[in-house]
Structure 1
Amino acid sequence: MPPKWDTASSSQISLCPKSNDESASYHLVYMITGNPGLIGYYDTFLKTLHNRLSDSLHFPPKSNTFHVYGQSLAGFEDDTCSEPMLESPYGLEYQIQRSQKTLEGLRIESGPHKGEQFDSIFLIGHSVGSYILLEIIQRLKKSSSPLKIKSGILLFPTVTHIAQSPSGVKISTLFRIPDFPRRASIAAKGLVWLAPEGVLKWLVGLVARMPPEAAEVTTRFLKSKMGIWQALQLAKEEMDNITEDRWDEDIWGIEQEVAEVKDERPKLIFYFGDNDHWVANHTRDALIAARGQAGPGNESSKPIMLIDENGVDHGFCIRHSESIAEKVEVWIDDMIESQT
């Protein structure tokens, strides 16, 4: 069966398996966006990842099938009809709960195993989506959820001390202005609505140097009813809440662990940027020293933590979707091969 896109809403991307082999293992890849939380930014990344996983040469294509799914965070899309219209933006806690609820409701969509849970789940979080990812894993563990979370892949993660990053320092200063997110959004929308959509898209592409696809998503975000306010309010909550490391060994793992326990713990892979403007180098290095694997070894259940060496920006999904998708595909392939 060919991959299928959920075209009913710009707020969701759903790529289904390319086959319905009864004997295949069914895997879910679940994407959690950064801020601004529009899934459209990850269109090329998710398409590339789905195609690479489905056509992988590391194992027989029919032995594993992949459903790739992602949704926009609440408040960023005007067509998110399932969400109640609020007079103020959605908070970080709501985004966590909503992302978890969606994950828990996903099932195999077609074929002989329709309606069943997936054999394994790979979570991918970008930026604040990485923070949401860790919160979901922790909450699922505490609730003894039957979901089989195999891994969490955290791309350019902002999971501690985001306010100490170069951009965090700048925006935190602005948040000292009373009611800054709402006031700034009103001013920005006044300017945005003066420009025709075609002109605005051209300006976004020119000023931000974005390719046409990203410029179109950004234009939709800027024209949305609450998008700018939602992004700024969520950013403020990120500054206030993403501070100290808040997770324990149940999430981080330990250096020496028996194989049975290690296999049950979701494998975490962190991929940091080099000189990421949303992640201070000193907080990144401190987290790697405290929580990363001390060195190669099969006994460790602690996260693998890597630093990009190719000059990829924090917003990788704008210009570097293909190269990051290639890395993620290799990591997922390796974890699936280790299961067999």
Structure 2
Amino acid sequence: MSPVISLLAKPRQRGVQPYRKHGLIYFICGNPGLVNFYVTFLDCLRGMLDAADEGSGGTAYDLYGRNLLGFSDDDHEPFSESNEPWDLDGQIEGIYRDVAARSVIPDDAGAEGEQGKGSRPYDFVVLMGHSVGAYISVEVMHRHMQDASRAPHLNLRHGFLLFPTLTHIASSPSGKRLTLLTKIPRVEENAHRVAKFVLGCIPLACVLWIVTHVMGFTPQTAEVTARWLKSRDGVWQAIHLGLSEMRTICEERWEEELWEATAAESLALQQQQQKVPRFFIFYGKNDHWVANHLRDAFIERRSEKGHARISIDEGGIPHAFCVRELMMMLDTSWVVAKKVFGWVREIEEGQQQQ
């Protein structure tokens, strides 16, 4: 399966009012960092964006997502004691570089009724992350704000954060269980070896059956999961990254300026007496990777100043909204895509005032 998903905006036909702007929504996976888990979700979002395009100008939105580093065996040399998997900081730096590289409109992206603009950068980029991908999104924006000279052509405008693990992940229900496991002597350094040994004893067909019939994954996501579990380095990368998350995602350390909307956005919306925030956040009701009391404290801190548009799901959508039972996956992927689409429309309404 391809480690990349690229869904471009449909080109405008001649005689139709051209797009005013061209934006990129860059999607960052959670852990395990396999973008093919999100095919249905991204297809739903692509369909909503295309259906809303009535030829009246506005923005062409391209969608792009890729595996996190180390989850494709062919993107690196085999891991070893001297060549370890990527930790969370390594993922952030690698994704930052890729965002900068992908922020140029591809030649086959049709906008304004023409072929793509080649070397022209996107007018703006939205980072959309799920789970630890949300943390990576915020940290990429933070590092770019600190030193934009690293990618001067890159205009990071907004962050869409889905079921985010932004603070104190070790205090979540699943984080507490993982922390207890790491207290067993030599577990951290040997967990990937044990996992590889066990999985090496089970044929791919059996792994696929277990993931489908016992864990309830859809046929498509079960195939993705089984091939990841049987890959050379994928499980090691996931374990290594997960342990790094436990050590790194603790107290919030971002400055207030990161959360504030840009001056241009604020000025453009003064006439409407509202403010398009820089971040849009969607939490699960009882997310096993998020401690509810810490989530609520974060919401109070960020909502009261208008730093973010934050909502909590009331319908029981799981943290891994994109992987299980077929009908449930279609429903939850559609619901989450609809939430993101609403954020896009809010951004568009703000841009029309500029």
- Give the aligned residue type for 1:69: Y
Matching residue within 292, 304, 324 for 1:293:
304
Counterpart-to-counterpart distance in 2, 1:229 and 1:12: 21
1:282 to partner: Cα distance: 0.5
1:243 paired to 2:254: no
Structure 2 match to 1:140: 144
Distance 1:31 1:18, change over 3 A: same
User: Partner of 1:226 in structure 2?
Assistant: 233
TM-score of the aligned structures, taking structure 1 as reference length = 0.88
**1:291 CA drift (Å):** 1.4
In the other structure, the counterpart of 1:205 is 212
Range 111-120 or range 325-334, more displaced:
111-120
**Structure 2: how far apart are the matches of 1:52 and 1:258?**
24
Q: Retained in 2: the 8 A contact 1:35–1:235?
A: yes
**Partners of 2:289 and 2:310 in 1: CA distance:** 17
In structure 1, what is the Cα distance between the partners aligned to 2:252 and 2:301? 10
Q: CA deviation at 1:84?
A: 4.2
Alpha-carbon contact 2:259-2:278 (below 8 Å) kept: no
Change (3 A) 1:21 1:333: farther
CA distance in 1, matches of 2:210, 2:9: 38
- Measured in 2, the distance between the counterparts of 1:84 and 1:20 equals 42
TM-score under structure 2 length normalisation: 0.84
Residue in structure 2 matched with residue 4 of structure 1 by the alignment: none
Partner of residue 6, structure 1 = none
Pairing 1:269–2:280 present? yes
Contact 2:106/2:116 (CA < 8 Å) preserved in 1? no
- The 1-side partners of 2:335 and 2:276 are apart by 28
Give the drift of 1:259.
2.6
| C-alpha distance in 2 between matches for 1:243 and 1:274 | 21
Q: Structure 1's 10 and 257: CA in aligned 2 closer, same or farther, altered over 3 A?
A: closer
Answer yes or no: is the 8 Å Cα contact 1:11–1:79 preserved in 2.
Answer: no
Residue in structure 1 matched with residue 45 of structure 2 by the alignment: 49
Secondary structure of the residue aligned to 1:316 is coil
Cα distance in 2 for partners of 1:112, 1:311 equals: 41
- Aligned residue among 11, 23, 28 for 1:27: 23
One-letter amino acid matched to 1:90: W
Q: Which runs of 5+ in 1 are unaligned?
A: 1-8, 295-299
The size of the alignment, in residue pairs, is 322
CA contact (8 A) 1:165 1:279 kept: yes
How far 1:50 sits from its partner (Å)?
A: 1.3
Q: Partner of 1:177 in structure 2?
A: 184
Verify the 8 A CA contact 2:276 2:346 in the aligned structure 1.
no
Aligned partners of 2:106, 2:169: CA distance in 1, in Å? 38
For residue 150 of structure 1, report the CA deviation from its aligned partner.
Answer: 2.4
% same residue: 37
Structure-1 residue corresponding to 2:88: 92
Show structure 2 runs of 5+ residues with no match. Answer: 108-114, 324-328
Range 271-280 or range 260-269, more displaced: 260-269
Q: CA deviation at 1:137?
A: 0.6
- Distance, in Å, in 1 between the alignment partners of 2:205 and 2:265 is 59
Q: CA 1:261/1:91 → structure 2, altered by over 3 Å: closer, same or farther? A: farther
Alpha-carbon distance in 2 for matches of 1:21, 1:179: 62
Partner of 2:339: 327
Aligned residues of 2:105 and 2:116 also touching (Cα < 8 A): no
CA contact (8 A) 1:54 1:66 kept: no
Q: Which residue of 1 aligns with 2:110?
A: none
Match of 1:151 among 125, 148, 158: 158
